Amino acid sequence: MECITGRTKTTEMNLIFATSNEHKLSEVRSMLPEGIAISGLKEIGFTEELPETQNTIEGNSLQKAEYLSNTLNTDCFAEDTGLEVDALNGEPGVYSARYAGEHATFNDNINKLLKELEGKNNRKARFKTVITYYSQGKSVQFTGITNGVITPNKRGDKGFGYDPVFIPEGSDKTYAEMTLEEKNLYSHRKKSFEGFANYLRKNAVL
């Protein structure tokens, strides 16, 4: 989740990205357009836990954006991402980050996913990111989707989350085998951020 905090002399806009995940922070920084600076929650000293109690990715994204906007009294945007696997009826979906339990690690979640897919021929899946921009009590959402397949085994040591087992359409590499530049060619998160940035430009925010 991010929060628009104002303008500086060297950048047009300063955004606070509500995450303590350094991998995600680096990935987002690599894809934002010129004119935007970004900081993580640790950098601004924000330690309050953000609510994620909805049963959809869209719902969680909106909930976080609205909560942060009300807490900081400013326009904000939030991001929520999930992996949806066809053979598992869309699971883990909104529960992707805690698929193997409330305090599960990335490896715990991947191991559970691979176990659930044992014996299944259909490995199709998609990553879905939803960004919610919340301003003056109104919200706009931007969705990015990347289709692909789940590999039988982990491959690569870059990225985070389910990256070692997801191959996007058009590639033979998992996300975890790609550089950030390569991943951004396919990234679901990149697609949603591009939609958001275009919205800001169209509405003269950037």
State the pLDDT at residue 6.
52
CA-atom Rg of the chain in angstroms? 17
State the pLDDT at residue 115.
98
2-202 CATH, one of 3.30.465.10, 3.40.50.150, 3.40.50.800, 3.90.950.10? 3.90.950.10
State the pLDDT at residue 9.
43
State the pLDDT at residue 145.
98
pTM higher than 0.75, yes or no? yes
State the pLDDT at residue 205.
61
80, 108, 157, 163: the catalytic one is 80
- Give the separation between CA 82 and CA 145, rounded to whole angstroms: 10
157 is catalytic: no
List CB contacts of 39: < 8 A, sequence separation 6 or more: 14, 15, 16, 17
* Spans of the chain below 70 pLDDT: 1-12, 204-206
State the pLDDT at residue 204.
62
In terms of DSSP bridges, do strands 2-6 and 13-17 run parallel, antiparallel, or are they unpaired? antiparallel
